[in-house]
Amino acid sequence: MKRSKIFFGIVVATLLLHACSENDEPERDPVSGTGNSVETNPPNANYSPAFAGQTRIGSVQTTTPISVTTLSTSLSSPWGITSLPDGRLLITEKGGTMRIATTTGEISNAITGIPAVNSAGQGGLLGVRADPNFSSNRMLYWVFSEAVDGGNVTVVAKGRLADNEASIEAPEVIYRALPAHSSTSHYGGRIVFDPTGNLLISTGERSNIATRPLAQDASTGLGKIIRINTNGQPAAGNPSFTQTDALPELYSMGHRNPQGIAFHPVTGDLWQSEHGPRGGDEINLVQPGQNYGWPTITYGIEYSGQPINGGLTQQDGLEQPEYYWDPVVSPSGITFYTGNRVPEWQNNLFIGALSGQHIVRLVIENNRITGEERLLTGENQRFRDITQGMDGALYAITDAGRLYRIDQE
């Protein structure tokens, strides 16, 4: 009797221990990826991930019948898309124009009054957001590449959309990510409002071997997430960095060319997409004050095939990506899905892939990627940005000038 009680006790203890250890693992639910990875090509680098599932997670497949509608083919290199409060879509075009689109595909004339952009290379008119109080103040905020003395910079501007929607009134540059450099690559360029009404902007390290290390220099605005108020000043409550001359507007550092930022609708965490070199595209969960490693650590290699920093992929004090791709898909704009049109997509992350020519769907559970799907693979389009409409459908734009609506059938 006594022995069986002890045995029972051991069984219960073992079960409890097992339950505890299971609780430490990401919870699995039926949408977790169970298929083979969507990536079937060999990687460029023979690097080992820092944890299981950091790359090539199992595939998931949307079961809800989906309709894909091409609303327009007439946009000119659209770069950013966001919803206005009335449900229409505001779209930037790389060459320096903005247009308003209806959700049935009527496209407005180009809005005038926007300061000149340098659209050479990867530059131009980039990300855009409407003020949370747009309905009353009609303010817009956007990112563009500007030619200045010494080269080009990623800058943030604001202006009021005229009542007749034909022009931007009193446009004003509120922030410049210095130093300027002659490169026309890696501007970053996304912008979002955070819940406190401040702006987060992603900046790139300008691609050049001379400026690449500035992603690790907290005294520069290159290769960073910047957090400023709507007047362009460092936002209240920004994190501190150990470097004594760190810029007060920094939110995070160590980024290469981040072209997607979005807040998780449940956890409130900031998620980010970042272009890697040859391999090493990343999805990061960005915590304030943290360093995301570029170019000290990366899962990519140089385009020449040479390792970067001796092939280092992990280092104490540098954050790991939540997910990476090798070969690259070139992740650009991102959005979380919170609509009710496709319930199985709830809180999933959607990513426009440029070289991948598809839309990535990532399932996230307990801050870990648990499933990946490729959507619109048959369209052969470079997807630049994606947003959720006020109607709960997804809207995506492509470099070739298309506007797509993706919705339940």
Which residues are catalytically annotated?
Answer: 186
CB of 363 to Ca ion, least distance (A): 21
Closest distance to Ca ion from the beta carbon of 88 (Å): 36
Q: What is the DSSP string of 164-218?
A: TSSBEEEEEEEEEEEEEES--S-----EEE-TTS-EEEE----S-TTTGGGGG-T
Integer angstrom CA distances of residue 58 from 33, 272, 369, 403: 4, 21, 10, 29
Site string for Ca ion, 85-124 (x = CB under 5 A): ----------------------------------------
**Helix, strand, coil: what percent of the chain each, to 5?**
10, 40, 50
**What's the CA gap between 289 and 358, in Å, rounded?**
32
Least distance from Ca ion to the Cβ atom of residue 350, Å: 21
CB of 49 to Ca ion, least distance (A): 13
Residues within window 293-312 making contact with Ca ion, judged by CB under 5 A: 293
The reply to whether 271 sits near Ca ion by the rule CB under 5 A is no
The order of strands in the sheet holding 66-72 is: 66-72, 403-408, 394-398, 383-388
Smaller CB separation from Ca ion, 72 or 273 = 273
Residue 239 beta carbon to Ca ion: minimum distance, rounded to whole angstroms: 17
Q: Where are the alpha helices (DSSP H) in 25-133?
A: none
C-beta of 180 vs 262, nearer to Ca ion? 262
Nearer to Ca ion, 103 or 272 (CB): 272
Cβ-based neighbours of 240, under 8 Å, separated by 6 or more = 246, 289
Half-sphere exposure (Cβ direction) of 177: Cα atoms closer than 13 Å: 38
* Residue range at the interface with Ca ion (CB under 5 A); choices 76-84, 197-205, 290-298, 323-331: 290-298
Cα Dmax for the chain: 88
Question: What is the number of the residue whose Cβ is closest to Ca ion?
Answer: 293
Residue 325 touching Ca ion (CB under 5 A): no
Count of Cβ atoms closer than 10 Å to residue 239 Cβ: 14
- The DSSP code for 344 is G
Separation CA 163–CA 260 (nearest Å): 30
Cβ nearer to Ca ion, comparing 146 with 205? 205
Distances, alpha carbon 209 to alpha carbons 183, 206, 214, 218, 376, in Å: 10, 9, 10, 17, 35
Cβ contact 213:168 at 8 Å: no
User: Closer CB to Ca ion, residue 141 or residue 292?
Assistant: 292
Q: Which of residues 6-65 bind Ca ion (CB under 5 A)?
A: none
In the block, which residue shows the tokens 């005038």?
Answer: 112
Find the shortest distance in angstroms from Cβ 330 to Ca ion.
Answer: 15
Minimum CB–partner distance for residue 292 and Ca ion (Å): 4
Q: Smallest distance, Å, CB 293 to Ca ion?
A: 4
Rounded distance, CA 38 to CA 351, Å? Answer: 15
Please identify, using beta-carbon distances, which residue of 260 and 293 lies nearer to Ca ion.
293
Nearest partner of 289 among 222, 224, 198, judged by Cα: 224
H or E segment and range at residue 2: helix 2-24
Nearer to Ca ion, 293 or 356 (CB): 293
The yes or no reply on residue 292 touching Ca ion (CB under 5 A) is: yes
Q: Which one, 292 or 323, has the nearer CB to Ca ion?
A: 292
Taking contact as CB under 5 A, which single stretch among the options 84-92, 109-117, 292-300, 336-344 is the one that binds Ca ion? 292-300
Residues that bind Ca ion (CB under 5 A): 292-293
